[in-house]
Amino acid sequence: MSQASQRIPATLLTGDGIGPEIVHATRRILEALGAPFDWDEQPAGLGAMETHGDPLPECTLESIRRTQLALKGPLTTPVGSGIRSINVRLREEFQLYANLRPARSIVDGGRFDDIDLVLVRENLEGFYVGYEHYIPVNGDPKAVAESAGINTREGCRRIAKWTFDYAVRNGRKKVTIVHKANILKKLTGLFLESAQEIGKDYADQLTIEERIVDNCAMQLVLNPWQFDVLLTTNLFGDILSDEIAGLVGGLGMAPGGNIGKDAAIFEAVHGSAPDIAGKGIANPCALLLASAMMLDHVDHHEDAERLRKALRATIVEDRVRTGDLGGTASTEAFADALIQRL
């Protein structure tokens, strides 16, 4: 894979809302970069629901099974009712147990500078998996809502080891285990206990600490520089990673990777933004940064770094920015400027 001439099959999910716009811009930029991917574009999301009767059709799953690698635009998940989260289905289908969400400062002039954080979120367990139901009482079918959170020792140990290995491999110095073991003593207590147990093998390479989630949330906005890598359960990671994105310019700058033993799916963390879909003003940076993560994953580190440097130069030196970053550039104008940089 490290040979520049070797092509790499990859599945491409365009997604909903602004997905087609940011995916089109990202493909143009990756082609200009000379990225090695041979795309197999497949349906997913609300559009696939209309054409295939399933937001995640079998042809899409089969493509990812074959390529073991995918880049995904945002997929809509209805609030409160409707279809189950497609993102959760993908993670479960391919056992993508590690959710990697880095956050680095690029946009200048904000409240926080020089942010360089990585959040690793357990991706398959906890409250987020949606094991829930209603209990009818006195004729009210929704009288009681009950949800179950499930953590396994195996799952907790697996994500802890993955995180510590990632930290060592990438020259990180500290890992903070985030939990709520003061209240959820068994559910997140098991997570904390398992991570601390695995952490003993890394004590000579990393500083390992623990932090209650609400305190961690506060400390992230008071002094985010005290953190390096955060290891969290599923639901806490979903919340804290959005908070961390706010430190570096918002969700438009937030990439993510869902990684398992046999497959990896990279994505923009943000939603499908239907309110601005079709207007040509969406920010493609999160998907571009996810593409850089994808390049690193297949050992094309030089291409990944070229992409990140060109993106930073476009924003900081050329001052070409989309509206969410305080600029006026359209999605395609931003892509044009970045391609010029490449």
Q: Which residues are catalytic?
A: 128, 180, 214, 238, 242
> How does strand 255-259 pair with strand 264-268?
antiparallel
Residue 308 to residues 45, 272, 338, Cα–Cα distance (Å): 28, 23, 10
Angle, to 10 degrees, between the axis of helix 234-247 and the axis of helix 213-222?
Answer: 10
- DSSP class per residue in 61-89: HHHHHHHSEEEE------SSSSSPPHHHH
- Would you mind telling me the total number of residues written for the chain in this entry? 342
- Amino acid (1-letter code) at residue 334: F
- Assign 177 to helix, strand or coil: strand
Determine the Cα–Cα distance for residues 121 and 124; give it in Å rounded to an integer: 9
- Amino acid (1-letter code) at residue 176: T
Quick one: which of 88, 90, 89, 84 has its CA closest to 64? 90
Q: Which helix (H) or strand (E) holds 256?
A: strand 255-259
